[in-house]
Amino acid sequence: MRVALDAMGGDLAPGPIVAGAREAVLEAHDLTVVLVGDQERIEAEFARLGDSPRDRLPIVHTSQWIGMEEKPVEALRKKRDNSISRCWSLMAAGDVSAVVSAGNTGAMVASALFNAKMFLPGVRRPGIAAFYPSHRGPVVIIDVGANMNAKPEDLYQYGIMGAIYAEEILGATEPKIGLLNVGAEDDKGTELTRNTRDLFLSSPWASRYLGNVEGRDLHDGNARVVVCDGFVGNVLLKSGEGAVEFLFATLKQELARLAADIPREALEKAGAALHRLKARFEYEEFGGAPLLGIKGACIICHGSSGSRAIKNALRVAGTMASDRLSARIAEHLQDAPRATE
């Protein structure tokens, strides 16, 4: 399995990116990671890391890369020899089966849109999936930022994509699909959500459609796939991340305040429990968010990703490609409603 990795993408690149690639190929002997970016800087990281299986860590040099703060479309047009575009070109040419980047998310999505031949048949806009913890396992939220102007057909397709991803990658059995809304009643929401509901109820996926899901119900896990447009999904995701950071910072402060009154053994147990709880919310376990609706596989990582997140993203990307996830999605989208511009 060959995966293209944007070595220049991310707040801390290329250090943890190269380190994560090295860790990934050391663990998976059938994996080759093609590092795309500035060869001199990548080589310097390899020299710092020491012995590495370089035969499975080739470098494709690019003279440019896109910063996290740059405007995606403008940067892609001005910087033709950038690492993100080169990654997509490698997959379009069949040289790799997957793409991974912790770089500019907008540029990753825009570059995919520029390569329309990378879309699965019938897909108007790919969607980014993310994960929410629940009592029944991770919940797939789609879309969280790729498509801000979704049509009902898009949301319907996202439900199918998310359900297949939950089955193939997360191991969920016949996951139910929910539609994020302001109330559970069928008549609640916007024209977009009401029309999306009608599509699900008149489709072969009607038995898997759970109905409207409110934000407070996400963590119960009854719906293992929750569908929304990219604007709502991105706000939801970032609000959740902020809430988790605030919660654990507050808990840490409270434990520190009570440390003098709690026996050391009890304090250590509380700290260990807190650490286990926090691990359930960490994005690093999955590495990043898959971009679904494309031929091949793509994982978009958090900008602050460390080597562990990159390693896991490469693992998941390889699994997505080897399991032919895209082929199964395409099969189920054959009879799906077609979006019109």
Predicted local confidence at residue 54, as pLDDT: 95
Q: Which pair of structure tokens corresponds to residue 86? A: 């080169």
CA–CA dist 80, 320 (Å, integer):
28
Token pair 């191991």 is found at 171
Confidence of residue 341 (pLDDT cuts 50, 70, 90): very low
Tell me the percentage of the chain whose pLDDT exceeds 70: 94
Cα angle for residues 50, 56, 60 (degrees, 5° grid): 95
Could you tell me if 194 and 227 lie in one domain?
yes
Instruction: Taking residues 282-289, report their average pLDDT.
Output: 67
> Which domain covers residue 42, as residue numbers?
1-122+293-341
Q: What is the total count of domains within the chain? A: 2
Q: What is the pTM of this model?
A: 0.88
Least confident of 77-86, 192-201, 242-251: 242-251
Residue 287 scores a pLDDT above 90: no
Instruction: Taking residues 40-68, report their average pLDDT.
Output: 96
Which amino acid type is present at position 86? R
Predicted local confidence at residue 328, as pLDDT: 86
Instruction: Taking residues 20-39, report their average pLDDT.
Output: 96
Strands (DSSP E) along the chain, which ranges?
A: 2-6, 32-37, 59-61, 98-101, 127-132, 139-142, 177-180, 209-213, 225-227, 288-292, 297-301
CA–CA dist 29, 27 (Å, integer):
6
CA–CA dist 215, 141 (Å, integer):
11
Could you tell me if 170 and 78 lie in one domain?
no
Could you tell me if 172 and 282 lie in one domain?
yes
Residue 11, SS3 per DSSP:
coil
φ, ψ dihedrals at 284, nearest 5° = -65, -25
Could you tell me if 260 and 319 lie in one domain?
no
Could you tell me if 168 and 109 lie in one domain?
no
Q: Are strands 225-227 and 139-142 parallel, antiparallel or unpaired?
A: parallel
User: What mean pLDDT is reported for the chain?
Assistant: 89
pLDDT per position as a tens digit, 244-283: 788 888 888 887 887 777 787 877 787 777 767 666 555 5
Beta-carbon contacts of 299 under 8 Å, excluding residues fewer than 6 positions away, are: 98, 99, 100, 101, 287, 288, 289, 290, 291, 313, 314, 316, 317, 320
Q: Cβ(126)–Cβ(200) under 8 Å?
A: no
CA–CA dist 258, 250 (Å, integer):
12
Could you tell me if 76 and 153 lie in one domain?
no
Could you tell me if 241 and 202 lie in one domain?
yes
Cα angle for residues 118, 121, 122 (degrees, 5° grid): 120
Could you tell me if 9 and 88 lie in one domain?
yes
Q: Cβ(10)–Cβ(103) under 8 Å?
A: yes
Could you tell me if 261 and 341 lie in one domain?
no
Could you tell me if 117 and 190 lie in one domain?
no
Cα-Cα-Cα-Cα torsion 230, 236, 241, 242, nearest 10 degrees, comes to: 120
Q: Cβ(170)–Cβ(140) under 8 Å?
A: yes
pLDDT per position as a tens digit, 163-180: 999 998 888 999 999 999
Token pair 């929410």 is found at 132
Could you tell me if 109 and 196 lie in one domain?
no
Could you tell me if 147 and 278 lie in one domain?
yes
Which domain CATH number covers 4?
3.40.718.10
CA–CA dist 280, 155 (Å, integer):
27
